[in-house]
């Protein structure tokens, strides 16, 4: 029987408490590390307004100092082109790469919720828009969505 030599799990949940606010709670747990994050993002700018982290399991006496570096993410916009690179630098390299990893996971969850949330909410109700029209309408409100993948590249071409 083959044993697992390494395993990592991540869980992200997103709440939408106010029209202009999305909140994510994330957990990362693997053979080495265990950590948690809460992230608040404000719309329509998709700006991070609050981050809080907690360690459950870490490896060195210096790891707790990484928590303060999470504040480097406040003020950044999750839809900016260089967002991932910035987080990997100012939260990851200057703090902890695993917190940066979980923060990006949480922010991606928030982005998905912002793009598709209204569609999910509309299920079971009368909704006139087709999926394509719905997504096209999001091109105007979610920066960076246009041309972001094979499907949205095709839709962007259809627009012109």
User: Which residues here bind another protein, judged by CB under 8 A?
Assistant: 2-17, 22, 30-32, 59-63, 65-66, 69, 92-97, 101, 105, 108-110, 112-113, 116-117, 119-121, 131, 147-154
Residue 29's nearest CA partner among 87, 90, 98 is 98
How far apart are alpha carbons 36 and 153 in whole angstroms? 35
Task: Choose among 98, 95, 106, 105: nearest CA to 35.
Answer: 98
Which is closer to another protein, CB of 66 or CB of 73? 66
**Residue whose CB is less far from another protein, 94 or 133:** 94
Residue 14 vs 76, nearer CB to another protein: 14
Mapping DSSP to helix (H, G, I), strand (E, B) and coil, where does residue 27 land?
strand
Q: How far is the CB of 75 from another protein (least distance, A)?
A: 20
Distance CA 128, CA 61 (A): 57
User: Residue 112 CB, nearest distance to another protein (Å)?
Assistant: 6
């Amino acid at each position: 029987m083959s044993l697992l030599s390494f395993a990592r799990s991540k869980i992200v949940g997103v709440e939408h408490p106010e029209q202009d606010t999305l909140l994510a709670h994330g957990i990362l747990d693997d053979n080495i590390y265990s950590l948690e994050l809460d992230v608040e993002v404000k719309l329509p700018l998709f700006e991070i307004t609050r981050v809080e982290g907690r360690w459950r399991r870490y490896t060195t006496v210096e790891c707790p100092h990484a928590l303060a570096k999470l504040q480097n993410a406040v003020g950044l916009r999750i839809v900016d082109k260089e967002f991932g690179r910035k987080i990997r630098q100012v939260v990851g390299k200057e703090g902890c790469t695993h917190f940066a990893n979980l923060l990006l996971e949480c922010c991606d969850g928030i982005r998905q919720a912002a793009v598709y949330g209204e569609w999910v909410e509309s299920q079971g109700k009368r909704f006139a828009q087709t999926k394509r029209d719905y997504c096209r309408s999001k091109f105007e409100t979610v920066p960076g969505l246009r041309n972001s993948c094979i499907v949205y590249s095709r839709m962007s071409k259809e627009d012109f």
